[in-house]
Amino acid sequence: PIRIRGPGGCGKIHDEIMKEIGEVSPSMKSISKINIGRTNVSVSRFGFGGVFIGDPDEITTDDQAQATLAAAYDGGVRYFDTAPWYGNTKSEHRLGQFLRNKPRQDFAISTKVGRVYSRPADEADFKANSPWAKRWLGGLPFELRFDYTYDGVMRSYEDSLARLGLARVDCLAVHDLDPRHQKSEAGVAAALDQLEQGRGFAALRELKEQGEIGAIGAGINEVGMISRFVERFEMDYFLIASPYNLLEQTALAEDLPLCEEHGIGVVLGAVFASGILASGWRAGAKFRYQAADTAILERVREIDLICQRHGVPLTAAALQFPLHHGAVNCIIPGANHPDQVTANLAAYTTAIPDDLWRELKQQGHLPLEAPTPG
């Protein structure tokens, strides 16, 4: 996410950028829509990711969070993604506070299952020692457990509805069933068994058959997990958080073709590679949620210089690149300030010459087979 600073404050900047994007009416802008995979769930191709209103690295006031969501909605965004994990339930509370005052037919929302929250036995000890508390600088004081069983999925779903203040969500995704979060291959196998033998996926299927949700998905952080889901479950979409962006295309070889083959949609998170494609090649810039090493910083510097030669902001190339792949339905960049939203919307509509993509391929920064215009 990017911040724009200048005279007149964020309200003036928001208005100026929105004029450039174009208005449908004084209060509503238009972003093209698409159905997720083969479902009837319609989403705006530019969505909103709710990670940063969960306060991972800085404290955001409730007023600022609501202003951020308003900037997205006024900019034409009609798809919002969140999860109980973001801020230990804070993101769901904030998103629900905003969306439940909007016409329900006008937006789509997704949240996730796999973590069940409860009050910690000792709140002070939780805040001081729990890794879940330390992950979110401004997170709420609730303890979690992973649970992919039937009861766990249903409990998570009902709790999310209560936090959001909504009677239904459009999409429900299995969250963080991967080696990084389950700590080992044995942990992944056990969680997959909970989802299958413990009937967690049966719960998702029931919700879809009853019309309570329109799409079943899974959040994926690493290559190789998509095939494991596809061989066991009938999936509607995957939310891919890292392996396909301007800096990394490891999902291009197998995961994305597999989605195309099975008619499975892709929602793309982490279009900025968790930060560095927005902040640029500065010390401390984040790549895959860690400080980027020297080699990554140099790659981003070279990509940025190529973008500059073609008069294109790095952020514009980062936002638009993944949408050229046929499997990718939409992107969901996150934000925690209105200026970030308006800047990203402007970058999303920036014209990019075909020669930029050609040079990125010629210089080895994109695979030749990566889908791009021209």
Residues designated as active site = 81, 86, 112
Question: 202 by DSSP, 3-state: which?
Answer: helix
Q: Which of 69, 49, 369, 73 is nearest to 239 (CA)?
A: 49
Round to whole Å and give the CA distance between 139 and 181.
Answer: 18
Question: 48 by DSSP, 3-state: which?
Answer: strand
Question: 103 by DSSP, 3-state: which?
Answer: coil
Q: How many CA atoms lie within 13 A of 154 on its CB side?
A: 10
Q: Which residue has the tokens 């959040």?
A: 219
Cα 7–chain centre separation:
31
Answer yes or no: are the C-beta atoms of 327 and 371 closer than 8 Å: no
Structure tokens at 330: 């939409």
Cα 230–chain centre separation:
21
Answer yes or no: are the C-beta atoms of 58 and 336 closer than 8 Å: yes
CA dihedral 189, 192, 198, 202 (to 10 degrees): -170
Q: Which of 164, 4, 148 is nearest to 86 (CA)?
A: 164
Question: 294 by DSSP, 3-state: which?
Answer: helix
Question: 109 by DSSP, 3-state: which?
Answer: strand
Answer yes or no: are the C-beta atoms of 365 and 306 closer than 8 Å: yes
Structure tokens at 29: 């802008």
Structure tokens at 279: 């902040």
Structure tokens at 317: 């190339």
The helix (H) or strand (E) run that includes residue 16 is helix 9-21
Q: Which of 332, 371, 327, 331 is nearest to 38 (CA)?
A: 327
Check residue 270 and report its DSSP letter: -
